[in-house]
Amino acid sequence: MARIVDQAGIDMILVGDSLATTVLGQPDTLAATVETMIYHSAAVAQVQPKALIVTDMPWLSYHISPEETIRNAGRLVREGKAEAVKLEGGRKRLPMIEAILAAEIPVMGHLGLTPQSVHAMGGYKVQGKDLAAARELLEDAKALAQAGVFAVVLEGIPDILAKRISEEIAIPTIGIGAGPHCDGQVLVFHDLLGLTSGHLPNLCVSMHSSPRSRHRHYNNTVPMCRPEHFLPPKKHIIPMLTSHRLYKMREPTHPTGPKPEQKRRYEIILTRETKDKQDPWQLFYMTQMQISN
């Protein structure tokens, strides 16, 4: 599999803890262990791909202490041949992220629908649909970028929120079920090729799984996932709640996010409407204002 995607010209291979469900047949990703991730990451590395190898830190491998987190991340790099690690969570994970970065291991973030929090979230549910949750995710993204992660996965959030986050932070955003405005897209290999049985999320595109069609489909998929070409079907776009609409900005920003010298602030105005309209709160993104140096 790693050879197929690498030959297609993919930029990055994520050895995800989703292998617990797609490969091992478990009901969720919580079954993945550090040893499991090391085994599969090392198998991918045997191909010696040109693509960057990023390996997921599984549940409980970065939740106990910074010291334990460094040991587990180090094992993924030393034994699993990973070139970077990915972990889920926002500001509450900063001590762990900073510890890994201090050990000179690159870190990718993951916000929104975080599968390792499936029980805390009450299932695989879209995140950031109301104003308060959207603000929290935006602040989490800013905090991760400030801490030094090199990219962040945005999963299962409204497309307009993903757009806002992508414009607010200078690092790449990688979307999955987050609309067309992210800097890149990630898809689960087994879902993409129709190898997963049972119900598939709306964001998945299932294709024929013969060896020839796998190569052909991956060759076609890679360019289509570039930001300038990625146009997901409407059913893949997640809207905000009606009572918390986020309107488009008047002035477009750089497609891959603002550079440090182009950082902007946004004037946010909350307006109270009459009860008969049944739309009490609306968030308007007003004209962007350049911050003077």
- Distance between CA atoms of residues 7 and 4, nearest Å: 5
**pLDDT computed for residue 4 by the predictor:** 87
Q: In the chain, what is the straight-line distance between the N-terminal and C-terminal CA atoms, in Å?
A: 49
The amino acid present at 137, given as its one-letter code, is: L
In this structure, are residues 87 and 49 in contact, taking their beta carbons and an 8 Å threshold?
Answer: no
On the question of pLDDT at 291 being above 90, the answer is no
17 annotated to a ligand binding site:
yes
Q: How many CA atoms lie within 13 A of 115 on its CB side?
A: 21
**pLDDT computed for residue 217 by the predictor:** 56
**pLDDT computed for residue 259 by the predictor:** 45
Domains contained in the chain, CATH given: 2-240 (3.20.20.60)
Q: Which two tokens stand for residue 256?
A: 């891959």
**pLDDT computed for residue 195 by the predictor:** 73
pLDDT band with cut points at 50, 70 and 90 for residue 19: very high
pTM greater than 0.75: no
Least confident residue range of 128-132, 161-165, 190-194, 248-252: 248-252
Q: Of the listed 155, 167, 261, 267, which one is catalytic?
A: 155
Residue-wise pLDDT tens digits, 185-239: 998 887 777 776 666 555 555 555 455 555 565 566 556 566 665 666 665 566 6
Residue-wise pLDDT tens digits, 69-109: 999 999 999 999 999 999 999 999 999 999 999 999 999 99
**pLDDT computed for residue 248 by the predictor:** 36
pLDDT band with cut points at 50, 70 and 90 for residue 286: very low
18 annotated to a ligand binding site:
yes
For strands 52-56 and 84-86, give the pairing.
Answer: parallel
According to DSSP, the residues that pair with 43 across neighbouring strands are none
On the question of pLDDT at 288 being above 90, the answer is no
56 annotated to a ligand binding site:
yes
- Distance between CA atoms of residues 278 and 236, nearest Å: 27
- Distance between CA atoms of residues 172 and 145, nearest Å: 9
Q: Summarize the confidence of residues 154-161 as an average pLDDT.
A: 97
- Distance between CA atoms of residues 219 and 6, nearest Å: 10
83 in catalytic set: no
86 annotated to a ligand binding site:
yes
Residue-wise pLDDT tens digits, 113-157: 999 999 999 999 999 999 999 999 999 999 999 999 999 999 999
65 annotated to a ligand binding site:
no
